[in-house]
């Protein structure tokens, strides 16, 4: 990727392309190459201070900055939505520092940065999914020593992961972990897809798109190359299951998507809507209707209004 210098509207020298300097991007790319070569292995990288606080996706932003080019089209989602603060500000960040095209449409994006969800629509080989990760180490819950967790990964000692799942069943009668649900990658490394809901775990398996994970605070990068085997951990007598909903999406009537619960009023009325706003919108445009759909304009504010 060529070195590009952007100029802001008033002509003063502004940011390097995609904010990070070229040396930093090279460093991150090297980490990414290693991560792709060893699926789910956590590669340390010299994470930079970004102009946003930790927890706002600094890891994902650095990964995106390292892989994005001028011809890319970027989509950013927080939960499944393109229009939340975090998603909007990251999208604007790259629009400003890299001058790239942005989109809310899954099919149009070449890079999708996400905080939680994987889009409902199946991703393609020419797409890259970048995850923002708060805690990359799946063993951290039970083993606080980094030296020990690294050794456990190296020696494939993963009994502890099942201790966590055991605790879930003992306390709740079933595996109650609903997000950051640990997976075994390529029959070798256990990985934390945090904080993705387990609903999306099956989508990670054998995905056509490249999946990159960046943890800013802990300065770790890991990756799943296209078509990698990803299996959710479970017990023989308590097999892995994804969440299901009795309801359908109130707006588009989808039965197969991840639904968010929306409280409508002080009387406890509520509705369920697709967390993936693009998916929901597309379905509505194609004429699908849910029970709460009253053919109003779309968008969160409008939905709330619609429900009144």
- Residues of this chain that interact with another protein (CB under 8 A) are 142, 151, 155-157, 159-160, 162-164, 166-167, 169-171, 234-238
For another protein, the closer CB: 188 or 238: 238
Give the whole-angstrom CA distance, residue 156 versus residue 306.
52
- Minimum CB separation of residue 163 from another protein in Å reads 5
Beta bridge partners of 132: 214
Q: Quote the least distance from Cβ 27 to another protein, whole Å.
A: 31
Rounded to an integer, what distance in angstroms lies between the CA atom of residue 195 and that of residue 27?
26
Q: Of 171 and 246, which has the nearer Cβ to another protein? A: 171
Shortest Å, Cβ 190 to another protein: 13
Inter-helix orientation angle 58-67/85-97, to 10°: 30
How do the residues of the chain divide into helix, strand and coil, expressed in percent and rounded to 5?
30, 20, 50
How far apart are CB 234 and another protein at their closest, in Å? 8
Q: Which is nearer to another protein, 122 or 156 (CB)?
A: 156
Yes or no: say if 140 and 149 are a contact pair by the CB < 8 Å rule: yes
Residues 6+ apart with CB under 8 A from 286: none
The number of CA neighbours under 13 Å toward the Cβ of 116 is: 18
Query: Looking at beta carbons only, is 141 or 245 nearer to another protein?
Result: 141
Question: Shortest distance, CB of residue 250 to another protein, whole angstroms?
Answer: 36
What are 201's two structure tokens? 């775990």
What's the closest the beta carbon of residue 243 comes to another protein, in angstroms?
A: 20
Of 175, 179, 159, 194, nearest to 241 by C-alpha is: 175
Beta bridge partners of 271: 262
Measured from the CB atom, the residue of 187 and 237 that comes closer to another protein is 237
User: Closer to another protein at the Cβ: 70 or 144?
Assistant: 144
Element (H, E) at 281: helix 277-285
Q: How far is the CB of 171 from another protein (least distance, A)?
A: 7
Comparing CB distances to another protein, the nearer of 155 and 286 is 155
To another protein, the closest distance from the beta carbon of 193 in angstroms equals 20
Nearer to another protein, 12 or 170 (CB): 170
DSSP string, 192-205: --TTSBGGGHHHHT
Residues 6+ apart with CB under 8 A from 26: none
List C-alpha distances in Å: 205 to 36, 158, 186: 15, 20, 10
Closer residue to another protein in complex, CB, 163/262? 163
- To another protein, the closest distance from the beta carbon of 162 in angstroms equals 4
Residue 285 burial by Cβ neighbours in a 10 Å radius (0-12, 13-18, 19+): exposed
């Amino acid at each position: 990727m060529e070195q590009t210098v952007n100029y802001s509207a008033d002509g003063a020298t502004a940011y390097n392309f995609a904010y990070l300097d070229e040396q930093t991007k090279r460093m991150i790319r090297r980490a990414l190459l290693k991560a792709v070569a060893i699926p789910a292995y956590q590669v340390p990288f010299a994470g930079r201070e970004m102009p946003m606080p930790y927890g706002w996706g600094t890891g994902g932003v650095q990964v995106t900055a390292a892989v994005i080019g001028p011809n890319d089209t970027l989509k950013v989602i927080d939960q499944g939505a393109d229009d939340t603060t975090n998603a909007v500000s990251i999208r604007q960040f790259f629009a400003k520092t890299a001058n790239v095209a942005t989109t809310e449409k899954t099919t149009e994006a070449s890079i999708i940065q996400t905080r939680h969800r994987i889009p409902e629509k199946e991703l393609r080989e020419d797409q890259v999914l970048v995850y923002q990760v708060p805690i990359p180490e799946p063993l951290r819950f039970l083993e606080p020593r980094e030296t020990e967790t690294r050794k456990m990964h190296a020696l494939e000692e993963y009994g502890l992961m099942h201790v966590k799942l055991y605790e879930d069943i003992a306390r709740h009668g079933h595996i109650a972990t609903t997000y950051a649900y640990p997976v075994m990658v390529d029959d070798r490394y256990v990985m934390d897809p945090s904080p993705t809901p387990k609903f999306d775990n099956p989508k990670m398996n054998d995905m056509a798109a490249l999946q990159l994970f960046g943890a800013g605070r802990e300065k770790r990068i890991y990756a799943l190359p296209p078509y990698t085997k990803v299996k959710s951990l479970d017990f023989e007598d308590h097999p892995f299951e994804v969440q299901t909903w009795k309801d359908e999406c109130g707006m588009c009537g989808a039965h197969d998507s991840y639904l968010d619960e929306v409280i409508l009023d002080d009387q406890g009325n509520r509705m369920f809507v697709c967390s993936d706003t693009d998916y929901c919108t597309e379905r509505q445009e194609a004429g699908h209707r849910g029970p709460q759909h009253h053919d109003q304009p779309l968008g969160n504010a409008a939905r709330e209004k619609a429900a009144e």
